[in-house]
Amino acid sequence: MTTIPARAADHRDAPFVDGAPEGDITDVFAFVDPNDSSRLVLAMGVNSFAVPSAPGTYSFSPDYLYQFKIDSNGNGVEDHVVQITFRNVANGGQIVQVVGPVRPAQTGARNKLIATVPAVQGLTGGTVGNPNGVLTFTGLRDDPFVFDLSQFNRILAGSQEVFRDMTSPFLGPLRGRSLNGDGTSGVDSFNGFNASYIAVSFPKSWVRGTTSKIGVWATVSRPFIELANRGPLTRNYVQFERMGQQAFATVFIPKPLKDAFNFSAPADDVARWSQFVPDALTTADNDGTGNTIAGRVAVLGAVGVDALPNGAPLLLPANFGNTNRNLLRVALLPDVLRLDL
């Protein structure tokens, strides 16, 4: 039996979380409830590649602090948090406790538990809470991520070049998966696997700032003990995993720095991580590299990957105008989900 070296969405994205599946965030979602536009829904998954036939073998860690963090003024610092903790019970089940959304006691990568009565408390494996307040679901659900991870790993290893067999007008034959009779070639590596999900819903007015735009990310933290001012020992939490946008860390952050990224906070993203996001394509050749929008269109056309079935239709036409080489950095940093309430 072999293990799956997953590096997709945010599954198994860094060495530390590879050994902590209950704290390894797979995906994060934030959206306005399609059935009630007054409510906000936040969700995160952990326990990637969970087998549906063995649901009793997956749980949330009673030692970890799971959090949704919400920035309502665009500075990358959380203005509200939803804190989720778990405790084991005698029959092998778990109790979930949800606090928030409330103002954080401490912002950034070190956090404190909010000392207040939980908004929700109940058994995991279903939905608990108040339909007019906070609702929470915890349990296994189908992993929604779709990606041909096996073929991606072959491409990274250099044993094949593309996702499906093709002949490039410029490069000649390129190796990939064979075309199926129905015109498809990819294999969903996540098909048939579950993840453990935490989902919370509450009135969106509770976290709205002066504008309707918010930033959302999820974190998982582990406890640490410190001596505070020579007084009694206090139990706080230090973050070891975070996720905002799908695949940001997977695509842009070098492997040796992935743990450092997960230990950091969005407020520091521009200063610490912008160097790893490439310049955006521009209309004019500003640096003599020829890395322009029109130049990229020409290259993709010559290789033969600018149209179906061998590639996706071009998102930017050759005459698209852009003079800001930092456009990608502005769009991607800080690494949070951006939502208009």
Residues 233 and 269 in one domain: yes
Domain count of the fold of the chain: 2
pLDDT surpassing 50 at residue 8: no
Residues 6+ apart with CB under 8 A from 27: 9, 10, 43, 44, 45, 143, 144, 145, 195, 243, 246
Residues 259 and 226 in one domain: yes
Residues 233 and 247 in one domain: yes
Residues 36 and 77 in one domain: yes
Residues 238 and 321 in one domain: no
pLDDT surpassing 90 at residue 319: no
Residues 6+ apart with CB under 8 A from 2: none
Max Cα-Cα span within the chain: 72
Euclidean distance between CA atoms 84 and 119, whole angstroms: 10
Average pLDDT of span 168-197: 88
Euclidean distance between CA atoms 26 and 18, whole angstroms: 11
Residues 59 and 112 in one domain: yes
The verdict on residue 161 lying in a domain is: no
Residues 195 and 321 in one domain: no
The verdict on residue 176 lying in a domain is: no
Residues 241 and 316 in one domain: no
Euclidean distance between CA atoms 31 and 186, whole angstroms: 29
Residues 310 and 234 in one domain: no
Q: How confident is the model at residue 180 (pLDDT cuts 50, 70, 90)?
A: confident
Residues 264 and 295 in one domain: no
The verdict on residue 1 lying in a domain is: no
The verdict on residue 235 lying in a domain is: yes
pLDDT, one tens digit per residue, over 279-304 is 888 998 877 877 898 888 888 888 88
Euclidean distance between CA atoms 24 and 173, whole angstroms: 39
What mean pLDDT is reported for the chain?
A: 88
Lowest mean pLDDT among 46-50, 179-183, 224-228: 224-228
The verdict on residue 126 lying in a domain is: yes
Q: Specify the length of the chain in residues.
A: 341
The verdict on residue 8 lying in a domain is: no
Euclidean distance between CA atoms 89 and 292, whole angstroms: 60
Q: How confident is the model at residue 315 (pLDDT cuts 50, 70, 90)?
A: confident
Residues 128 and 226 in one domain: yes
Task: Outline where DSSP puts E strands in the chain.
Answer: 28-32, 39-50, 65-71, 80-88, 94-102, 110-111, 120-123, 127-129, 135-142, 166-168, 172-174, 194-203, 213-227, 233-243, 337-340
Euclidean distance between CA atoms 316 and 85, whole angstroms: 45
Residues 119 and 244 in one domain: yes
Order of strands across the sheet with 127-129? 28-32, 39-50, 194-203, 135-142, 127-129
The verdict on residue 154 lying in a domain is: no
3-state secondary structure of 116: coil
Domain that holds residue 285: 280-325
CA dihedral 216, 197, 222, 49 (to 10 degrees): -120
The verdict on residue 159 lying in a domain is: no
pLDDT, one tens digit per residue, over 78-129 is 999 999 999 999 888 899 999 989 999 999 999 999 988 899 999 999 999 9
Question: Is this prediction's pTM over 0.85?
Answer: yes
